[in-house]
A and B are shown apart, each in its own frame.
Chain A
């Protein structure tokens, strides 16, 4: 297996590199692992490793009306964001992939703008706009703002799926008598559906984990989980957040695994 690298440097000579790389990997992953372990601690103090185990922080999380409401808001917003961003992003990626429009480059840059524009500016700008049209503290407002942030991920994921797909198949379907829509649904769509699902999953995580814009435009009954967490962290370090964080980490792991599995089948 290692022969395909095949440089005449032995793994032993590289030991220092593996050591250093391993340490950096540890640095990347350790915080998440520590939080997961601490979430099962019985203590209000931050001890590691915990002396006593319990599920009390999970109980606090699930029994608190505030946390539960915020979670429901976040799930709702993320689900709706997926429902909006996925078809829009897929349609846009399809059009970009055709590459026949004159301003393809500009369109591409516009659609991926939210990856480049500082998110604090999007937050303040959206808040300012929503203040004038009454969308602050509404689900609709959150879904629209999160959709804009999720769009580039859907577009890029679907686009990479379309690029590895042989467009001649859609052509041949057309020549065999399928109209535009039929050719897309019967031939193209089944073959890029893994990319679309991956894009949808990324859209979900993006919306669910979004903090900065939500800080500005969510509040009251539409307070998102991340906004509530942010405020809680500003006050004090509450171990309940470890339980919530563990749930978020698990969510990320699950969604990423699903995306990976889909990706592999593709």
Chain B
């Protein structure tokens, strides 16, 4: 009953305004045209990403007997092997992210201070590995780090060590390989954000009596933090789901989250458990990205456009 007057008012207004109906229809047609341009892409993403993940999530809610249960999630807290996987994963993620910051910050800082030409040449050395296959780079590190690899044979030849160091097939190999692979993901957004820092701010800082070190600490560094944060989040998130390098360089000893998922599904065909791992991984990833976006309001995919 109460809707009646509103409806009448609406009709009255429609009568008053010329061609409103035709214009609305025209606007709808235009929207449909744009949707038609998007539809094939959206359909593919929906079919390949949304549907399977939804399906896996559904599977994760049932135990092996087919009954609705939280068993697939409960075992993460109960079984030592799962807990160990998580601990390893986060340990690797923290170490790799830390290493990327330590290596990436000075590099990005140097790039941002170099003259344009020199910077763009140096940048090639960052971008080229970025676009080189992960497999190739992992293979390279295997060659360099393994028992009879380059480093060990050099060190033995030089007489520094007598027994080969175990650099590959353990945590250190995984960390070195992943740091190398993920470093560009930190350097590129950081460099992009450092480039936007106004040099006049630094000049002003020096003009006001701050020495070079103080200017860096009090002006440049704080201004570069958003870029650093975005790099850190991307690297950390990618670490959590990283598969190739730990699988090839971990020597079966370093089991990370993604490997655990692969083993659970491929080796043991336990889809429920594997799916549950995937769901938690996705939730953690999205939570970290969401938190980051909420804190800094930047798009997490920015790294791809900062190439």
Answer whether A and B touch in the complex at a CB cut-off of 8 Å: yes
* Residues of chain A whose beta carbon lies under 8 Å from any beta carbon of chain B: 1-2, 4-9, 13-14, 17-18, 20-21, 24-25, 27-29, 31-32, 34-35, 38, 45-48, 88-89, 91-92, 94-96, 98, 100-101, 107, 110-122, 124-129, 144-145, 147-148, 151-153, 155-156, 160, 180, 205, 208-209, 211-212, 216, 226, 229-230, 233-234, 237, 241-242, 245, 248-249, 252-253, 255-256
B15 at the interface (CB under 8 A from A): no
B2-39 interface with A by 8 A CB criterion: 30-31, 33-35, 37-38
User: By CB atoms of chain A within 10 A, which of B30, B128, B149 has the most?
Assistant: B128
User: A121 contacts B282, CB within 8 Å?
Assistant: yes
Q: Is the CB of A1 within 8 A of B115?
A: yes
The answer, yes or no, to whether B88 is at the interface (CB within 8 Å) is: no
Q: Binding site of B, secondary structure by majority: helix, strand, loop or mixed?
A: helix
Q: Complex: how many Å from CA A88 to CA B305?
A: 19
Bound CA–CA A78/B46 (angstroms): 21
B155 within 8 A of A: no
| 14 A/B residue pairs, CB under 8 Å, sorted by A | A1-B115, A1-B116, A4-B115, A6-B203, A7-B206, A32-B129, A32-B137, A88-B41, A96-B38, A151-B45, A156-B301, A205-B131, A212-B244, A245-B140
Grouping DSSP codes into helix (H, G, I), strand (E, B) and loop, the A interface class, with mixed when no group exceeds half, is helix
Tell me if A88 and B44 are in contact (CB < 8 A).
yes
Known contacts A230-B244, A256-B127, A31 near B144 by CB under 8 Å: yes
Q: Known pairs A116-B237, A148-B48; list 6 more (Cβ under 8 Å).
A: A28-B129, A28-B180, A28-B184, A125-B52, A233-B138, A252-B128
* A61→B106 CA distance, assembly (Å): 40
Instruction: Name the contact of B128 in the complex, choosing from A18, A29, A180 (C-beta under 8 A).
Output: A29
Instruction: Find out whether the CB atom of A4 lies under 8 angstroms from the CB atom of B135.
Output: no
What separation, in Å, do the CA atoms of A253 and B50 have in the docked complex? 34
Residues of chain B at the chain A interface (Cβ within 8 Å): 30-31, 33-35, 37-38, 40-42, 44-53, 55-56, 103-104, 106-107, 109-111, 113-117, 122, 125-129, 131-144, 146, 148-150, 153, 180, 183-184, 199, 202-203, 206, 212, 237, 240-241, 243-244, 247-248, 258, 261-262, 265-266, 271, 274-275, 278, 281-282, 285-286, 289, 300-301, 304-305
